[in-house]
Structure 1
Amino acid sequence: MDTVRRERTDAGDAGHEGDAGGAAPVRTGAAGERRERTDAARNRAKILAAAEGIVAAQGVRGLSMAEVAAAAGVGVGTLYRRFGDRSGLAYALIDAREREFQTAFVQGPPPLGPGAEPAERARAFLRALTDRTVEQLDLLLMAETAAPLARFGGAYDAHHAHLSMLIGQARPGVDAAGLADALMAPLAAPLLAHRLRECGVEVERVKAALDDLLSGVIGG
């Protein structure tokens, strides 16, 4: 699943300098540009925080552009210019959390980040990925079922490459890529939602099963 969706700028598709019949755009000074970027970042953070609160309280179905705008204290037009539509806003929520998660396993503290043994890091990664999936389960369920291969792509590739690396380090010579796919399969959003919501399985049971699978793959 590719979670990265480019946002539209507040400026939209304004005319370029030198367009026939158009005046050159007025340029702001460096201080003005920095202030605009700071304001835009602050608005984005407010919007995403408001949207997260609504999803947490009402689920994805309750994600309304008008309600998010009201909660964030911005105009509805700002949301549409930045995110395009409700779906774009949902993907922005996924992307923001995914960036935090990737930062944690690439450069965060051990055992999730560098500094621990590969087997220990792999175990921590699968447990953290479980929590990350459960945290945004409704959003990921929507994203992963949007198309037949929607689960695969940007975020999946990053997770898969990282887990494959750890498996290869812990047990050189095995099919690390194939084993990484097998270990990540139980965390597909539709399957996880079914197990947790329809079968009443506890999250800790999912993690324990992944621990056992990992032990079978790399030992220990």
Structure 2
Amino acid sequence: MLYAGLMSASLPPFPSHQEPAGTPELLELGVAGQDPCLRADAARNRARLLEAAAKLIAEHGAAGVTMEAVAAAAQVGKGTVFRRFGDRVGLLTALLDHSERTFQAAFLSGPPPLGPGAPPVDRLNAFGHAMLRHCAQSLELQIAAEPDPARRFTAPARRLQRGHVTLLLRQALPDADCELLVPALMGFLDPVSVHHLTKQCGMPLARLEAGWTDLVTRVTGVTPAAADKP
């Protein structure tokens, strides 16, 4: 399967004119090596910890979520929280799991133009718009869950997104140096950048979406079909 190589150390050489066969398996966002088949009691404990963390975010914002605070709210030892999620980033990432997997399903196997079936430039344009909206819906949590520099570009969800954009760009521009173009495109969609532009610069999300369409058009030389709609 084309997306299987995304878990390797570097981006795989995606074929330039091929869609993934079948529906790719969505990536788990939790702690690496964690058993996905949790025992019933372990699953209940995990759900209770996530519920406590979500309540803390609702009451105090993402900054109020610490491993100690979650342990206290869930009435468990701090070690239990560390064993389940690894660290604070792992905990916050687990909170993002549902929305991230829904987003993955949309661009991997949903209806076009975001999903398969549309021209690659249209899909690339739709992906950027969807990614911007995805970031904006949980921006504070996205920022709080930012991995440290050593893990920023190797987090499973980030690698899947980057690999997807690489696939689409290689379909649209087979002769381009996509390994250098893709990081430039992904930088536009980075949650930290979205936070700066929307929260600190006061730009509306619609302006970022229009900017993405303009960027895609300039890079590919093709105006996405969605850009022609009023």
For 1:84 and 1:161, the matched residues in 2 are separated by 26
2:188 corresponds to: 186
1:165, CA displacement in angstroms? 1.0
TM-score (norm 1): 0.70
Residues 1:107 and 2:109 aligned together? yes
1:174-197: CA deviations, max 9, x gaps?
A: 223322222211222332221111
1:68, CA displacement in angstroms? 4.5
Kept in 2: contact 1:111–1:121 (CA 8 A): yes
Relative to 1, partners in 2 of residues 1:6 and 1:196: Cα closer, same or farther, differing over 3 Å? same
Residues 1:93 and 2:118 aligned together? no
Residues 1:152 and 2:145 aligned together? no
1:42, CA displacement in angstroms? 4.7
2:63 corresponds to: 61
Kept in 1: contact 2:31–2:84 (CA 8 A): no
Kept in 1: contact 2:57–2:65 (CA 8 A): yes
Amino acid at match of 1:157: R
1:202 to 201, 204, 210: 204
Amino acid at match of 2:90: G
1:22 corresponds to: none
Relative to 1, partners in 2 of residues 1:54 and 1:204: Cα closer, same or farther, differing over 3 Å? farther
Amino acid at match of 1:176: C
1:83-127: CA deviations, max 9, x gaps?
A: 245443113224444333222211222222212221221111111
Moved more, 171-180 or 47-56: 47-56
Relative to 1, partners in 2 of residues 1:213 and 1:82: Cα closer, same or farther, differing over 3 Å? same
Amino acid at match of 2:153: F
1:162, CA displacement in angstroms? 0.7
1:164-220: CA deviations, max 9, x gaps?
A: 111221233222332222221122233222111111011111111001111112212
2:32 corresponds to: 6
Relative to 1, partners in 2 of residues 1:60 and 1:156: Cα closer, same or farther, differing over 3 Å? same
SS at 1:76 equivalent: coil
Kept in 2: contact 1:143–1:150 (CA 8 A): no
How many residues are matched?
Answer: 191
Q: After TM superposition, which residue ranges in structure 1, 4 or more long, deviate above 4 angstroms?
A: 64-71
Amino acid at match of 1:122: L
SS at 1:160 equivalent: helix
Relative to 1, partners in 2 of residues 1:187 and 1:206: Cα closer, same or farther, differing over 3 Å? same
**Residue segments in structure 2 that go unaligned for 5+ positions in a row:** 1-6, 8-28, 224-230
Amino acid at match of 1:92: A
Kept in 1: contact 2:89–2:146 (CA 8 A): no
Kept in 1: contact 2:63–2:144 (CA 8 A): no
1:65, CA displacement in angstroms? 4.7
CA RMSD of aligned residues (A): 3.1
1:163, CA displacement in angstroms? 0.8
